[in-house]
Amino acid sequence: MNLALWAAAGTGVQVGAAIVASRLAVAEVPPLTLAMLRYAIGFACLLPFALRPLAALPRPLPVRDVAAMAALGIVQFGVLIALLNFGLQRIPAAPAALIFSLFPLLTLGLAAALGRERASWRLLAGVVLSIAGVALTLLPKLQAGARHGNWWGELAVLAAAIAGALCSVLYRPWLQRYPVLPVSAFAMLASVAALALLALPEGWPARLATFSPLAWGAIAFIGLSSGIGYFWWLYALKHESPTRVTVFLALNPVTAALLGWLLLGEQPGATGWLALLPIAAGLWLATRPADNPRP
């Protein structure tokens, strides 16, 4: 497997861990405030490494490029996470992860519609198999939570997946034009500035002192891992097709289930272990070299 796909796999694991931590944090931290703190910490992590390649960029950058990267950052790192946090306040993590696992299928549809990627049968089969594996992983929790549906929460998570799919398809021209680290850092900075304003009605400046050590620990973990995870994400998008990258998000509910088992004593059922087979098969099909044509 090439380095870009390893980076995509690492991001899939990171997203699963962050969903578990976010589910813990949203009990105290409002969704927009959590998103703002997440990327403020992520930006602080990336900035020292981005300064050198940033200094090498041409001056001045085209206004059109700056505006496009800022808009993508606000949607990818701000709107998406705010919607996801809003959903996690209203529905359990398991159905949220399942809905969010539609991300690669949505990416494939958008990429094909925009002429950015060819929707081959093997790639489509890999995406569908990975989603089936996700459904198997979450089946016991989905059955247990079937009586507690919340359409607003479910629609928010679906909207987050659509926003992420659109950004994954649209990022490529700027990732090809500029180094990954400055793009990552600038996109996060733009999202932090937007979220700091949008989160003002939540009273975040006054509420920071009220969060418990447990909530701050979750926020710190989410922020640090997001800084690393989104660098991996954009690196993978720079070097691979959007669908082959996003299909690795199938690893996020597996990660969440394993962390629940290791840290919380939540024993996975037989369907959870069985789910590893279609997920592995789906990833294998979706990442075959023959399914990586460049339009």
203: left (phi over 0), alpha (psi -120 to 50) or beta: left
116 or 12, higher pLDDT: 12
Nearest CA to 111 out of 9, 7, 244, 283 is that of 244
Task: Specify the pLDDT at position 145.
Answer: 53
Q: How many domains does the chain have?
A: 1
Q: What does the pLDDT look like over 108-160, one tens digit per residue?
A: 777 877 777 776 777 677 777 777 776 666 666 555 555 555 677 778 888 88
Report the b/e string of 140-170 with b at 16+ CB within 10 A: bbeeebeeeeeeebbebbbbbbbbbbbbbbb
* Interval 55-79: pLDDT, tens: 877 777 888 888 998 999 889 877 8
Structure tokens of 235? 């690196």
Range of the domain at 118: 3-291
Instruction: Indicate if the alpha-carbon torsion angle 279, 280, 285, 286 is positive or negative.
Output: positive
